[in-house]
Structure 1
Amino acid sequence: MKATRHAARRRPGRRGPWITTTAALAAIGVLVYLVMTLRAGDGADAVTATDTRAGADPGRAAAVTAGPRTGATPTAPQRTPSPAASPSSTPPSVTASATPSKPKPPKARASATVAARSDATQAPSAGRIRPGVTYRGLATHYDAADGDGACLFGPADDMMIAAMNHTDYETAKACGAYIAVRTANGASVTVRITNECPLPCAPGQIDLSRQAFAKLADLSKGELSITWSLLSPSTAEKISVRYKTGSSPYWCGIQVVGHRNPVARLEVAADGGWRALPRAEFNYFLSEQGAGCGKSLRITDIYGERLVLDGIAIRPDALQSTGVQFRQR
């Protein structure tokens, strides 16, 4: 009985060491495999595994890419766009709508174009005051106050102004003219005509503002023998147009302000053409029946240059700039 029990114990004792040795070897193999795998993956940025989840199709195992390791520089995936998605270097064309756009409202500032220019050496529209002619007379002085006068330009910014004698004033034709006044001793001053010197002012006489007379001599002189001539000065000022107070489509007075050269003629668009308006002593061109009021204007200087002015509405007593000027002569 003792021998039988001892034999029964040794049978399992023989298999035990083999199984233990086999399991140990398998464990060592798995450990070596894992160590080798980890060493091989140390230089890689990502690890690829196979989806072995329950229900996964072995023939269609999905590859799963892990994120970058700590310290690795992430790289954006490179995508090749399809031809349809490739941007074109040519900008897309724009097709205009068949619906017409609304017209823009006219600007408050008038537009102007040069209708015609005259290069004649003589001033075809000049009156008594002509370019290139030297006139003789007397210079006197008066208190010009704020600079307004018979020409109705309004207060002056520059008091170098004067009143033209009644004869050479010529129904306001001299209004706005620039003249150079000189004395026998060589003193000179440039003034703009803004007023009329009534009779008995003689032809050739210029009544200067006190400020302008003082450029030539002491005011105590009273009067000086002078010569004077018309100028076409350099100026940055642009021509403006003003409708007289009370103007309407049925009656209007139109004035030109800030012109370099004297204005000889003003016409309005009427009856399919141009109609010249008469000039009043107070320097407005009058349309007694309303012809052309609020329509295009055409102004001509004494040299024959014409400017067509559009977009000037009837705005009584308001200066409307045209942005243009007669050229210098």
Structure 2
Amino acid sequence: MKATKHAAPPPNRRRGLVMGIPLALVAVGVLVLLAFALLPGGGSGGAGGASAEPAAASVAATEPGTPPATPPGTGTPTGPTPSTAPPSAASPSPSATPTRRPSATPSPSAATSSSARTAPAPASLSGRIKPGASYQGVATSYDAADGNGACSFGPSDDLMVAAMNHTDYETSRACGASVLVRAANGASITVRIVNDCPLPCAPGQLDLSHEAFAKLADLSVGRLPITWTLLSPGTAPDTMSIRYKVGSSQWWCGLQVVGHRNPVAALEVRTGDGWRQLTRTDYNYFLSPDGTGCGGAIRITDVYGEQLTVDGIAVKPDVVQPTRVQFARH
């Protein structure tokens, strides 16, 4: 019996040893985890923990309040945009003035829509030659022959005409203008612009017909200092006329105004959507390249802003067709 009692304890000691080893390992594991948890940036573990801090930096770089720096000279601020500024203030257009920017900037389409008016404001009509302004230059002379010229008005018995310098001719805007020319000696003459004086004719220069120059000074003078102003003459025809260019049809046409008292600033044709302004050529015709408005109603605007509507002008190439209207005298 004693032998049996002394033999039983050894298995109990081995069982306690076996169970003690796992408990020791668990304790070591807990200590290791606690150690990792106390390290900087710990607790994120694995690949996600390595990428967490760079991801936060990426978000900060794209924060709306701190746009990327812009190279100098573009007009865009390089520092952070104040939180009170509207989103569009971060990239103003070159023409924008930051101190005058309204709180709500119109969209580009709205600006385009408001500037595409069929009836321009009077302030924008006169171009380089403005009513009431006085211009200085020199007068030269040329052989006007039959009185025709770049304005395509055709021959004329009245040779009190002139060619406007190319700059002030301004793509035929000066065509048909009546100009009062004064010389330093007190002599004056009124001429009608029918031609273009090409470069090197300088701004302010008028190339007068021999007949017109001779009323100011002897032709041998060559170059004569002058001043000149735009007139709205009382001797204009009672009505103006319309002429379609040779080759005009319902598919393409060119229109010209003849006998107008004041310079023509714009010509429009009526379409299904309203009035369409035609492009002016340097030979003084307004073109409709796709035939829009050819043979329909026409609206003509002078440099003073007066608009006259003409109807019933058929497409008859190279025929001067009178209207019933004329610009007012100013």
**TM-score, with length taken from structure 2:** 0.62
Q: Say if 1:126 and 1:264, in contact at 8 Å, map to a contact too.
A: yes
* Alpha-carbon distance in 2 for matches of 1:236, 1:144: 21
- Specify the alignment match of 2:328 in structure 1: 327
- Specify the alignment match of 1:153 in structure 2: 153
- Segments of 4+ moved more than 6 angstroms: none
**Equivalent position SS for 1:212:** helix
Offset at residue 236 of structure 1 (A)? 4.6
- Specify the alignment match of 1:68 in structure 2: none
Amino acid at match of 2:155: P
Larger C-alpha radius of gyration, 1 or 2?
A: 1
- Specify the alignment match of 2:244 in structure 1: 243
* Alpha-carbon distance in 2 for matches of 1:241, 1:303: 20
* Alpha-carbon distance in 2 for matches of 1:314, 1:215: 41
- Specify the alignment match of 2:221 in structure 1: 221
* Alpha-carbon distance in 2 for matches of 1:200, 1:287: 32
**Equivalent position SS for 2:154:** coil
Q: Say if 1:232 and 1:261, in contact at 8 Å, map to a contact too.
A: yes
Offset at residue 235 of structure 1 (A)? 2.1
Offset at residue 185 of structure 1 (A)? 1.1
* Aligned positions of 1:297-312 closer than 5 A: 297-312=298-313
- Identical aligned pairs, as a percentage? 66
TM-superposition CA deviations, 1:142-183 (whole Å, max 9, x none):
000000000000011311000000000000000000000001
* Aligned positions of 1:169-184 closer than 5 A: 169-184=169-184
- Specify the alignment match of 2:17 in structure 1: none
Amino acid at match of 2:269: V
1:141 aligns with 2:147: no
TM-superposition CA deviations, 1:170-222 (whole Å, max 9, x none):
00000000000001111000000000000000000000000000010111111
Amino acid at match of 1:141: S
- Specify the alignment match of 1:194 in structure 2: 194
* Alpha-carbon distance in 1 for matches of 2:185, 2:221: 14
* Alpha-carbon distance in 1 for matches of 2:216, 2:156: 20
* Alpha-carbon distance in 2 for matches of 1:227, 1:304: 25
- Specify the alignment match of 2:267 in structure 1: 266
Q: Say if 2:236 and 2:261, in contact at 8 Å, map to a contact too.
A: no
Give the number of aligned pairs.
211
* Alpha-carbon distance in 1 for matches of 2:159, 2:286: 26
* Alpha-carbon distance in 2 for matches of 1:157, 1:248: 30
Offset at residue 128 of structure 1 (A)? 0.1
**TM-score, with length taken from structure 1:** 0.63
Q: Say if 1:172 and 1:283, in contact at 8 Å, map to a contact too.
A: yes
- Specify the alignment match of 2:286 in structure 1: 285
* Alpha-carbon distance in 1 for matches of 2:124, 2:282: 22
1:275 aligns with 2:279: no
Amino acid at match of 1:308: T
* Alpha-carbon distance in 2 for matches of 1:124, 1:286: 21
Amino acid at match of 1:259: H
- Specify the alignment match of 1:93 in structure 2: none
**Equivalent position SS for 2:279:** coil
Structure number with higher helix proportion = 2
Q: Say if 1:147 and 1:154, in contact at 8 Å, map to a contact too.
A: yes
* Alpha-carbon distance in 1 for matches of 2:158, 2:274: 38
Offset at residue 272 of structure 1 (A)? 3.2
Q: Say if 1:240 and 1:319, in contact at 8 Å, map to a contact too.
A: yes
Amino acid at match of 2:329: Q
* Alpha-carbon distance in 2 for matches of 1:187, 1:218: 12
Amino acid at match of 1:278: T
* Alpha-carbon distance in 2 for matches of 1:323, 1:239: 7
* Alpha-carbon distance in 1 for matches of 2:236, 2:161: 18
* Alpha-carbon distance in 1 for matches of 2:284, 2:193: 12
- Please, what is the CA RMSD of the aligned residues? 1.6
**Equivalent position SS for 1:174:** coil
Q: Say if 1:123 and 1:131, in contact at 8 Å, map to a contact too.
A: no
